[in-house]
């Protein structure tokens, strides 16, 4: 990775503070210097804030992505047959899509190397959900990662120390300096990890709405366009879907409840909205993996993999390979029986239909419960979560159960039940849910 010791970091901060632009070598020197500890936190924080306030042009954003990508090991999976395809979601409440999606796509002949993250804030994290499977390990070596991908076409792990180490360090600093919500930083963070995985193509799920990282649709569209542009600059064909996360996705929210619902999808019994997003993304990945000539053909392949049981078999192979207890997978309901449970019931004025279930309220309640974390060092309860019994458009009467909440202990239940009850609003008229997948971006245009 490029480093020029003659470059003065203070000069870079000054120039960016005064709306100047930085060269590729200057940005690479900053990234390398901070990653190895030559640049202290206070100077790096000043640099991040200057860039956040004054902006970065496309060349600077591409240089930042390149420097972060090459701060560690960039994997070469070319010796493993097939076009390797991954998916990235910007996250949302109840977004467990990666868990059923990856085995569905792998069952259709597309190798899926997936490096995921932990939850921070209200959107949850794939690794926390997977680790609620007893014994499941997301900490594989790169050699184990490669071997499992070659053998079963599917692997799901966390970021290793030698994959984009600059991102790990810079993200932690962004989180405590109020510089997270800046598109060039977001793009560089996401893609430095994804491009280092050894993929040949990428499919993106960019969400907007109450339960999403980007709540405004216009900002989510801008992020999608930017991610596709940057990814394709690095030679990776990329498609982005724009999906609605104004209300929780599916019925399960939390850790084990989302694993249980993922199993429902793999057995053909998942909620319609979750199946819609999962199958649409699967079709895009199958086409990107050159296993189908059209999205329509790929969609039928994905559905066939569920009907035949091949997708579920692939999931079981992955769980076994990564140390998970298959008994929990085969009987997911039994694991919930060990949890403490309580219901949120409809209030006395709940007459008619559910108008809305606010995803942000649900996500915040799950943090109170212990299903998520506000700080990276927070512990996560593997059983914590809820099952929503009443969603938008459902009829409701006073006293009916709106949701069942689960946790390992009763300690956090009262506060959770109180905050979760605020998520529901009611109407005398039924409001039918809108489609989750709202648009598709590729080849420089929106087309759905």
Question: Annotated active-site positions, please?
Answer: 88, 167, 174, 189, 193
> Strand runs (DSSP E) across 130-237, as ranges?
154-158, 201-208
In sequence order, the β-bridge partners of residue 252 are 387
Q: Outline where 289-431 has alpha helix (H).
A: 295-307, 310-321, 326-330, 332-336, 359-369, 413-420
List % helix, strand, coil for the chain (3-state, nearest 5).
45, 15, 40
Closest CA to 99 of 328, 238, 255, 211: 255
In the structure encoding, which two tokens stand for residue 80, read together? 């493993």
CA distance 189 to 173: 12
Which residue shows structure tokens 């899509």? 97
Residues 6+ apart with CB under 8 A from 143: none
| DSSP, res 92 | B
Task: From residue 74, give the alpha-carbon distance in Å to each of 82, 146, 193, 233, 298.
Answer: 18, 13, 9, 16, 30
Strands 201-208 and 238-244: parallel
CA distance 309 to 275: 16
In the structure encoding, which two tokens stand for residue 282, read together? 């699967």
Closest CA to 197 of 140, 243, 131: 140
Phi, psi at 220, each rounded to 5°: -65, -40
């Amino acid at each position: 990775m490029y480093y020029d010791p003659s470059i003065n970091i203070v000069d870079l901060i000054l120039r960016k503070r005064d709306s100047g632009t930085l060269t590729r070598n200057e940005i690479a020197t900053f990234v390398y210097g901070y990653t190895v500890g030559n640049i202290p936190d206070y100077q790096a924080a000043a640099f991040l804030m200057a860039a956040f306030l004054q902006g970065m042009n496309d060349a600077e954003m591409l240089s930042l992505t390149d420097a972060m990508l090459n701060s560690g090991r960039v994997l070469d999976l070319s010796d493993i047959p097939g076009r390797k395809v991954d998916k990235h979601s910007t996250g949302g409440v109840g977004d467990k899509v990666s868990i059923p999606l990856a085995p569905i796509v792998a069952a259709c002949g597309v190798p899926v190397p997936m490096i995921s993250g932990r939850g921070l804030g209200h959107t949850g994290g794939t690794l926390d959900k997977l680790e609620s499977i007893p014994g499941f390990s997301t900490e594989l070596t790169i050699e184990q990662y490669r071997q499992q991908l070659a053998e079963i076409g599917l692997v799901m792990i966390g970021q290793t120390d030698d994959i984009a180490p600059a991102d790990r360090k810079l993200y932690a600093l962004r989180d405590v300096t109020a510089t997270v919500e800046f598109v060039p930083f977001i793009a560089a963070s996401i893609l430095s990890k994804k491009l280092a995985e050894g993929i040949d193509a990428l499919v993106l799920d960019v969400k907007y709405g109450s339960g999403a990282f980007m709540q405004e649709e216009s900002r989510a569209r801008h992020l999608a366009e930017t991610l596709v542009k940057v990814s394709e600059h690095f030679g990776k064909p990329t498609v982005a879907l724009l999906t609605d996360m104004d209300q929780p996705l599916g019925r399960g929210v939390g850790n084990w409840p989302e694993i249980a619902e993922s199993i429902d999808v793999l057995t053909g019994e998942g909620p319609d909205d979750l199946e819609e997003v999962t199958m649409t993304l699967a079709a895009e990945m199958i086409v990107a993996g050159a296993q189908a000539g059209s999205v329509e053909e790929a969609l039928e392949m994905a559905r066939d993999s569920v009907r035949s049981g091949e997708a579920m078999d692939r999931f079981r192979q992955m769980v076994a390979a990564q140390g998970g207890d298959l008994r929990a997978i085969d009987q997911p309901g039994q694991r919930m029986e060990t949890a403490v449970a309580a219901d949120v019931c409809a209030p006395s004025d709940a007459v008619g239909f559910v108008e809305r279930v606010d995803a942000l309220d649900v996500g915040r309640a799950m943090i109170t419960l212990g299903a998520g974390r506000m700080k990276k060092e927070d512990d996560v309860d593997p059983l914590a979560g809820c099952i929503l019994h009443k969603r938008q458009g459902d009829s409701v009467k006073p006293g009916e159960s709106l949701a069942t909440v689960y946790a390992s202990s009763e300690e956090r239940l009262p506060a959770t039940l109180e905050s979760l009850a605020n998520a529901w609003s009611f109407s005398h008229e039924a409001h039918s849910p809108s489609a989750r997948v709202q648009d598709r971006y590729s080849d420089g245009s929106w087309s759905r």
